[in-house]
Chain A
Amino acid sequence: NAGVTQTPKFQVLKTGQSMTLQCAQDMNHEYMSWYRQDPGMGLRLIHYSVGAGITDQGEVPNGYNVSRSTTEDFPLRLLSAAPSQTSVYFCASQDPSFTEAFFGQGTRLTVV
């Protein structure tokens, strides 16, 4: 049982490039979310989804897009990377009773 899988683990982008961070879970959870982690800022919510076809913005959504075409996958797209998006990104899914959030291993993104 893989849980929440994120790819890639590391990525370096040039300013202006676009890319997609992948997130997949095999626990059949409806609720998924993306956070970014920056030193001294904790984890801040970017976007979340309560089920296939439904997404909503979190605290820091600017510069990011998401879609949820299946229960399993919740990709995060950076439209035009900026140095301010240098961060560690975590994907999470929650069980139906919301008793726990399960996190992926994270993607460390550097934008130069």
Chain B
Amino acid sequence: AQSVSQHNHHVILSEAASLELGCNYSYGGTVNLFWYVQYPGQHLQLLLKYFSGDPLVKGIKGFEAEFIKSKFSFNLRKPSVQWSDTAEYFCAGREGNTPLVFGKGTRLSVIA
């Protein structure tokens, strides 16, 4: 079955530290990949998405992700996190017109 896995359950970083959250997928064909963020008490918001073309995707709020087909990975990165980045981050994937499948999420806590 198609699946998306996130390596880290909870990440704690100090402000200004660099961030990398792992995401792997198991799709065999053409895959669409997404990163969503959920701030406390809110709904999911799209950070960035990959459909085709440049494997380095830039999103909102300084986030970026790199699609590495050979590694089945789509890791999320940010050079310098802020306290306001504290949230839960979800990787999701889809193949064709199938429903979005989500990873289990990574909770990011940024401390001063």
A binds B: yes
Q: Given A42-B105, A98-B94, A101-B100, 14 other A-B contacts at CB below 8 A?
A: A33-B100, A40-B104, A40-B105, A42-B90, A44-B102, A45-B99, A45-B100, A45-B101, A50-B97, A94-B100, A98-B32, A99-B49, A100-B34, A101-B92
Q: B-contacting residues of A (Cβ < 8 Å)?
A: 31, 33, 35, 40-45, 48, 50, 58, 90, 92, 94, 98-101, 103-106
- Which residues of B sit under 8 angstroms from A105, Cβ to Cβ? 42-43
Interface residue B103 (Cβ < 8 Å from any Cβ of A): yes
Q: How far is the CB of A23 from chain B (nearest CB, A)?
A: 12
In contact, A58 and B94 (Cβ under 8 angstroms): no
**Pairwise interchain contact A43-B99, C-beta atoms closer than 8 A:** no
Bound Cα distance A50, B43 (Å): 22
B51 at the interface (CB under 8 A from A): yes
Say whether B16 faces chain A, with CB atoms less than 8 Å apart. Answer: no
Which residues from A are CB-within-8-Å of B92?
A: 43, 101
Complex-state Cα separation, A68 to B109, whole angstroms? 39
A58 touches B99 (CB 8 A): yes
Task: Pick the most buried of A31, A42, A90: most chain B CB atoms within 10 A of its CB.
Answer: A42
Q: How far is the CA of A40 from the CA of B9 in the complex (A)?
A: 8
Q: Least Cβ distance of A42 to chain B in Å?
A: 4
Contacts of B42 in A (CB 8 A): 105
CA–CA, A85 and B94, complex, Å: 26
Contacts of B111 in A (CB 8 A): none
CB distance from A66 to the nearest CB of B (A): 13
In the complex, what residue of chain A is closest to B90 when comparing beta carbons?
A42
Query: Measured between alpha carbons, how far is A100 from B43 in the docked complex, in Å?
Result: 14
- Which residues 55-112 of B sit at the A interface, judged by CB distance below 8 A? 90, 92, 94, 97, 99-105
Known: A40-B9, A45-B99, A50-B97. A100 touches B49 (CB 8 A): yes
Known: A90-B44, A103-B44. A42 touches B99 (CB 8 A): no
